[in-house]
Structure 1
Amino acid sequence: MAWAIFCLVGLHLFNPGWLSESNLYEATLTEHDQNPSLRNHLNKCYTRNRTKFYSKSPSIEYSGDQKRVVEAVVWAWSGYKKYAFGHDVLDTATMKGVAWLNHDIGLTLIDSLDTMFLLGMTNEFQESLLWVREVFPEKLQKGGVVSVFETTIRVLGGLLSAYHLSGERHVLDAAVTLADSLSQSFNTLSGIPLSLINLTDGVGHEQSTLAQIGTLQLEFKYLAQLTCNNNYRVYVEHIMNSLLQEMTQYYPDGLLPIQISDEGRIDSTSIISFGANGDSYYEYLLKQWIFSDKKDDKYKLAYEMAIKSMKEKMVRKAVGLSNLTILGDLSLNKDGTRSFEAKMQHLACFVPGMLALGFFHGMPIWHLELAKELMQTCFVMYDEMESGLAADEAYFQVENEKNVSPKHNARLKHNNPNYSPNYNAKDFLVPTQNENILRPEAVESLMILYRVTHDEMYRSWGRKILDAFELGCQIPEGGFSGVMEVHLKNPYHNDKVMESFFIAETLKYLFLLFSDDDILPLDEYVFNTEAHPFPIFRH
């Protein structure tokens, strides 16, 4: 089906320097064209897409493990609802609602919608949908700065998945309004958005990173399908075309440095990482291919190249009792070569799940074998801490220390008071000032690996992690808090915020880990990087 190109009512029109005059003509309509014909077009598009709504009833009966997760979600939501309802996040130090940056748009509420639906929390879900209808539009009109990336994956993604699950038209309308505001961020000479944007005046701030610009695509492409408005696809496809062109010219191994310059180019001096600021770019290479019904092979080829190079250059065996496999970073030396950093970020623990998902969709068997090895390392990062909770990063000693950065070599940190060997940790060190902020990556990978292998070990590991969250992070008044010094048996609360991803991702993935495979099956859905499920449109 040819993509009809329409501009929705309320879209702020602009002519970015990268958008050609012919494309701009196709991407816009006159005011005269926009009245009854546009509404008729949108209604037809809406009617056609109604057949793609979620058809399975939400859960009302739970297994023992599921029930524990539901109780955790109810407890987390109770704290948010009582002290922070309608605000971005719950501040666990003051037990008040606060903005995540400085434009408070109900981040946790919208991020949690699909989790509540799937768990059968009907009253909470309907109350939140009412807030989206009556309050969210006013919130968007207030001044303030948001992260383009975080707002896209959490808020836009949350609205789109809630629309798919519920079929409530006003949720799609809210998604369109938000996307039109976010679309102002593409109004740069290069078409590459800056990191932050004021939703009211469209002014952008700060350089972006690889993950920030390479993780907008699923959300805007899905919205383009739902609204038959190809503008959204044009914006984010331009970003990918720019990145893949640079990859072809300068980075033939498929591994891209994480910083983006003011001109929208890749900064070759920055590190290469599957952790912070790089991670979800690679995730979305795979998922854009899957989401295209495996038609858009340029993403498959880029993904395969990157994973092959990752295995060759960024995966090492660690010295220790557990024979662990680690995924480190690559830093740039003065002579232009790169050194391996023998640390593993918790953020990189999404990689086992990504590799297993790739295998599920036809990648070679070694992807699954590497996924299993890295998953063991991620679990050991939890299991060898006294609290049962992983730190945000761990430092290892690797077998072959050639081209290994001394700065990140655990062997050199044993006598450093800033690093703790921990009473139990046999394989790695963590910084003394370490923390766990309720991140989802490890349990995300457990869920996918369980669905691909049906090995009960992955469920047992998930139970241990859930035990640790309940024991160390639960707040008596309601909600959960991140913790500091996880190498101690009794870590203390970090007095920060309950991140919206705890309900949206961590607890949702734990629920799915203990659920049957037909709840959001992997051959019918793609999860965005915030765990919001989008149905794969069959061509």
Structure 2
Amino acid sequence: MLQDNYRLTGSRSASQDPEFIAKAIEDDNYFWRKVPTHYPVQDMRQLPTGNPRALPKIQKSFGKEPRKEANIRRERREAVKKAFARCWRSYRSKAFKSDELGPISGKSKELFGGWGATLVDSLDTLWIMSMRSEFEEAVNAAVSIDFTTCVIETVNAFETAIRYLGGFLAAYDLSGDLRLLRKAREVGDMLYKAFDTPNRMPISRWDFENAKKGGKQVAPEMEWLAEVGSFSMEFTRLSVLTGDPKWYDAAERVRVALEEQQSSTQLPGMWPFALNPRDMNFNSDTTFGLGALADSTYEYLPKMFAMMGGLMPSYQSMYENSMETAIKHLLFRPMVPDSADILISGTMHIGSKEGKKALNLEHQGQHLVCFAGGMLAIGGKLFDKPEHLEAATKLVDGCIWTYNALPLGIMPENFVMEPCPSDKECGWDELIWKRAVLREAGEDDLDNMEKADEIIAQSRLPKGFTKIPEPGYLLRPEAIESVFILYRITGRPDLLESAWVMFESIQMNTKTALANAALGDVTVHGDPPKEDSMESFWMGETLK
């Protein structure tokens, strides 16, 4: 078969030859290429050409590693690999080719199309961890996935792009195995049909069967920012590797629409959570933030600039404009017992007061928004923005502080903190904290300290937290990933220790007889309640 004939594990020179690649991955008979196109592109945008710019070096130049530190690093690396290998063996034996393994029940779960989300998402981790025999077995399984059938009615196109398309592309870039690029193209051809709408805007919650039957489609009137603006990296990389500009064109149309409306939103510089792709209206909603519903649209901006070798300056201006607004309006210093100089990113609600626009910052932090520290660190180095690196440092330190403040050493999914009166005036005040606890609980009498103590005890609130609406932990990667990025940029040795403490806390509290499980509540002391869930990003991102 063609896939067997063009198996090229490690053969980089051949796998980079455009003619060879085209022959290896071309399949005009593939189902998704034959589905009728109702709204063909009339003016295909082409990938930028020219010599890439010389970009600033992001990573710190590390000197020779002392033997003692090298030994510690290797021991810790092996511990992480051991944790991954244990999860992989359980997945391999009990849920292979399924989307997820239930880490408590041992049952398989199909939440992302039934195409093996964990299998594909883990491919590059297997390669990076030098588990080559397992990688080869996984690739053999992954290349047989049938993307013409689906076990769920509505496909999340964004999740499919990051877990499947991103998984295949990353594994191909590492291994050079053209079977993986061929598979990436299959996923790309499928996802491209979600853009077959009158204005070429994507359908994020995609009716798979309707598209499969060749039905006409139209973009919805409401989609989340992250699910519209986060195709750029995977789609552009696929176009670069295949030489077919159609995916780049699809992502570029979204980028242009975002750029055109960036300065006309209710919080100029940023885009709101909710967009209207059907009417191309990206500036009407009144809620803004860097966390869930928005995150990766912002994260991809500096990464796209770097990936395109600086040939698309719009990504720089879009990043700088959005982060100028975010740093000014979203970041706040919380009041904490040790007066640590940290930052948390909140959620902005635009309202009105006495006929004028009013900005109301909700001082709610999220585990997911911890990605912002890594993003700002990269952007700060890439675009020579020291203030971004400073904000990144305080955001990462804030995530570390939050991990350490909880009894299990793990940050909750969602929490609320009381802001300091100002950056300079930030001493701990027990009375202000307790009044804030009462206010968050909806109490009228803000001087009822007995009631405040009762709420604090019942809700198990560590000092500094005024409410923890979502006390779970989903095995998320964002915090430890940003610690990793900031360490590679600054070389701060304390970040290594913080990351290790985070890993040990997570491993100790989430470990099951089979693998690792999401936690229902990290505010408890002792054994936390576990949930029968292990999303693919645990092995595809967190442990990697």
Shorter chain as denominator, the TM-score bin is 0.7 to 0.9
Match of 2:523 in 1: 487
Match of 2:12 in 1: none
Match of 1:354 in 2: 375
Structure 1 residues 196 and 489 mapped into 2: Cα distance closer, same or farther (>3 Å)?
A: same
Select between 74-83 and 300-309 the one with higher mean Cα deviation: 74-83
Matching of residue 219 in structure 1 with residue 234 in structure 2: yes
- What is the aligned counterpart of 1:104 among 88, 94, 114? 114
Q: How do residues 112-511 of structure 1 correspond to structure 2 at under 5 angstroms?
A: 112-134=122-144, 136=145, 138-142=146-150, 144=152, 145-202=154-211, 207-250=222-265, 253-261=268-276, 262-266=278-282, 268-321=284-337, 322-323=339-340, 324-335=342-353, 336-400=357-421, 410=437, 412-413=439-440, 415=451, 425-431=462-468, 434-476=471-513, 478-508=514-544
Q: Which amino acid in the other structure matches residue 356 of structure 1?
A: A
- What is the aligned counterpart of 2:81 among 49, 70, 84? 70
Q: Which amino acid in the other structure matches residue 299 of structure 1?
A: Y
The answer to whether the 8 Å contact 1:157/1:219 transfers is: yes
Q: State the distance in 1 between where 2:303 and 2:458 align.
A: 38
1:169 Cα deviation after fit: 1.4
How many residues are aligned here? 461
3-state DSSP class of the match of 1:431?
strand
Select between 264-273 and 7-16 the one with higher mean Cα deviation: 7-16
Q: State the distance in 2 between where 1:267 and 1:420 align.
A: 42
Structure 1 residues 359 and 346 mapped into 2: Cα distance closer, same or farther (>3 Å)?
A: same
Q: Which amino acid in the other structure matches residue 331 of structure 1?
A: H
Q: Which amino acid in the other structure matches residue 180 of structure 1?
A: D
Match of 2:63 in 1: none
The answer to whether the 8 Å contact 2:81/2:129 transfers is: yes
The answer to whether the 8 Å contact 2:266/2:284 transfers is: no
1:228-260 C-alpha deviation (Å, 9 max, x unpaired): 001111111001111111214446731110112
Structure 1 residues 16 and 458 mapped into 2: Cα distance closer, same or farther (>3 Å)?
A: farther
The answer to whether the 8 Å contact 1:220/1:236 transfers is: yes
1:344 Cα deviation after fit: 0.9
Please report the TM-score for the alignment, with normalisation by the length of structure 1: 0.79
1:494 Cα deviation after fit: 3.5
Match of 1:91 in 2: 102
Q: State the distance in 2 between where 1:383 and 1:252 align.
A: 33
Q: Which amino acid in the other structure matches residue 326 of structure 1?
A: I
Q: Which amino acid in the other structure matches residue 114 of structure 1?
A: D
1:366 Cα deviation after fit: 1.3
Q: Which amino acid in the other structure matches residue 189 of structure 1?
A: P
Q: State the distance in 2 between where 1:450 and 1:133 align.
A: 36
Q: State the distance in 1 between where 2:141 and 2:120 align.
A: 9
Q: State the distance in 1 between where 2:202 and 2:508 align.
A: 41
Q: Which amino acid in the other structure matches residue 204 of structure 2?
A: S
The answer to whether the 8 Å contact 2:97/2:142 transfers is: no
1:326 Cα deviation after fit: 1.7
The answer to whether the 8 Å contact 1:413/1:419 transfers is: no
Select between 187-196 and 171-180 the one with higher mean Cα deviation: 187-196
1:423 Cα deviation after fit: 6.1
Structure 1 residues 264 and 108 mapped into 2: Cα distance closer, same or farther (>3 Å)?
A: farther
The answer to whether the 8 Å contact 1:350/1:442 transfers is: yes
Please report the TM-score for the alignment, with normalisation by the length of structure 2: 0.79
Q: State the distance in 1 between where 2:383 and 2:43 align.
A: 38
Q: Which amino acid in the other structure matches residue 333 of structure 2?
A: K
Q: State the distance in 1 between where 2:179 and 2:37 align.
A: 29
1:14-50 C-alpha deviation (Å, 9 max, x unpaired): 5565x653549x99xxxxxxxxxxxxxxxxxxxxxxx
Select between 285-294 and 262-271 the one with higher mean Cα deviation: 262-271
The answer to whether the 8 Å contact 1:112/1:500 transfers is: yes
Q: State the distance in 1 between where 2:80 and 2:310 align.
A: 33
Q: State the distance in 2 between where 1:14 and 1:213 align.
A: 23
The answer to whether the 8 Å contact 1:485/1:491 transfers is: no
Q: Which amino acid in the other structure matches residue 227 of structure 2?
A: Q
Q: Which amino acid in the other structure matches residue 471 of structure 2?
A: N
Q: Which amino acid in the other structure matches residue 351 of structure 1?
A: A
Match of 1:44 in 2: none
Q: State the distance in 2 between where 1:229 and 1:486 align.
A: 47
CA RMSD across the alignment: 2.9
Q: State the distance in 1 between where 2:436 and 2:197 align.
A: 41
Match of 1:515 in 2: none
* The structure with more radius of gyration: 2
The answer to whether the 8 Å contact 2:265/2:284 transfers is: no
Q: Which amino acid in the other structure matches residue 346 of structure 2?
A: G
Select between 73-82 and 262-271 the one with higher mean Cα deviation: 262-271
The answer to whether the 8 Å contact 1:117/1:125 transfers is: yes
1:454 Cα deviation after fit: 0.7
Structure 1 residues 227 and 494 mapped into 2: Cα distance closer, same or farther (>3 Å)?
A: same
Structure 1 residues 420 and 350 mapped into 2: Cα distance closer, same or farther (>3 Å)?
A: farther
3-state DSSP class of the match of 1:276?
coil
1:178 Cα deviation after fit: 1.0
Q: State the distance in 2 between where 1:410 and 1:181 align.
A: 49
